Copies of this chain bind each other. A is one copy, B any other.
Amino acid sequence: MRFVTGTIERPVTCRAIAEGGGRNLHIHGAVHSLRDMGGVVFLALRMPDGMVQCVCAPAVLPEGLCEECCVELSGQVRDEPRAPGGAEIAVERITVLSRPAAPMPVSLAKRELGLHLDTELALRPATLRHPRRRAVSRLQEGLVRAFRDYLTGEGFTEIHTPKIVHAGAEGGSNIFKLDYFGKKAYLAQSPQFYKQTMVGALERVFEVGPVFRAEKHATPRHLNEYTGLDLEMGYIRSFYDLIELETGYLRYAMELLARGYARELALLGVELPAVEQIPCLRFDDAKRLAAERYGYKIRDPYDLEPEEEVHIGQYAKEALGSDLVFVTHYPSKKRPFYTMDDPEDPKYTLSFDLLFRGMEVTTGGQRIHDYAAQVAKMEARGMDPAQFESYLMIHRYGMPPHGGLGIGMERLTMKLCGLDNVRYASLFPRDRCRLEP
């Protein structure tokens, strides 16, 4: 019999190699590219946090070594200003651990993959190995980690709520249906009901999880399954508390990225947005200011079209010097039934969106906490409160004033990284035509 004690060898990182020459190291990775320069072979080794240049004499090169072989090698680190990270490895021994069965369908050594979107996505298992794709994945990880770490520090508890549900939170027809042991069920359009419920138990909660929207449009900004960064907070004094909280999160996130993801930021040429302060504009004002500045007529005073979001983003950048702008007080009829109307003008709500470089990346607001008020709003919309009995239990048994928000992880990543299609910000995107890989 054997006992394990939790002994893990931490692998050597590129960052550690970049610390300089003179040491002998034993490392592993995939052969990202191979260049035979006559008397010497340059091998770029792909490691989790970057690439390492390895230099081999032909004599140490194993028979048939090719790209995407997985190898382990040992050698000496030496300073080399021309190598990425300023150091390279002079290989003394190299062993092949595994070999591919076929050559890559794309060249990972090219600076840009340059594929058509459909091709790129069909080959995602291969293309995700490209340095630029890996950098997007890493920055996304940073954004999500910052979300959790920041909120945990602010007293929030992470929750996990069901994705198979008996009713949709957002209403409308954009909901996936499924058969659940003979009963009709749906895929959650958001964790809305559940996160509100947990405010009654734990006051401040958040969830990171999949969100499903059966929307039929095929646009560069929509996915049918995305990851929601959701939070809900009790005892807010106004919805501006949520806006402050999101600003705090963004600042924390940008600092984390600046500190820990310099390689990825540099590779993608990402400019982090300034988040010392973020302007807030009322919905009406934002529409008017952008229309005036860019000389167009407002078509629908109650709606904000994607083109208008672009203009408002442009206004925020040019007139206010900000990549980010909160738009507040959306019209009541465009917001879900659980949104609190503004007591000063009930045509509008105590709600907001966050636009980042001209695209909505967050929706949030204060919720109705009073039972009678929530039932009345449902009835005014022709909804049947009896169908929401388990949700209304929280209002019946008492809820603090509260509100929350949801951030689209992929959109946030997309705008941060300057991607022109949200599909690039999802590892394996789901759209109307795409279910594989």
Contacts and interface: CB of A to CB of B under 8 A. Distances in A.
B123 A393 contact: yes
Nearest to A247: B6
Given A161-B428, A201-B133, A397 B102 contact: yes
B210 A398 contact: no
A229 B280 CA distance: 39
A427 B398 CA distance: 19
Given A2-B279, A125-B197, A162-B429, 15 more contacts: A3-B280, A4-B278, A5-B244, A6-B251, A28-B400, A98-B398, A102-B371, A125-B390, A126-B397, A137-B198, A160-B427, A162-B225, A165-B435, A208-B208, A209-B210
Interface stretch (A34-42, A77-85, A179-187): A179-187
13 contacts: A3-B280, A4-B244, A4-B277, A6-B250, A98-B399, A122-B390, A125-B200, A125-B394, A126-B397, A128-B201, A163-B210, A166-B435, A390-B437
A60 interface: no
A10 B278 contact: no
Interface of A: 1-8, 10-11, 13, 28-30, 47-49, 68-70, 72, 97-105, 122-126, 128-129, 133-134, 137-138, 140-141, 144-145, 148, 152, 154-155, 157-167, 176-181, 183, 185, 187, 193-194, 197-198, 200-204, 208-210, 212, 214, 216, 224-225, 227, 234-235, 240-241, 243-245, 247-251, 275-281, 285, 320, 326, 369-372, 390-391, 393-401, 409, 426-430, 432-433, 435-437
A166, A275, A437 pick with most chain B CB within 10 angstroms: A437
A427 B98 contact: no
A98 B200 contact: no
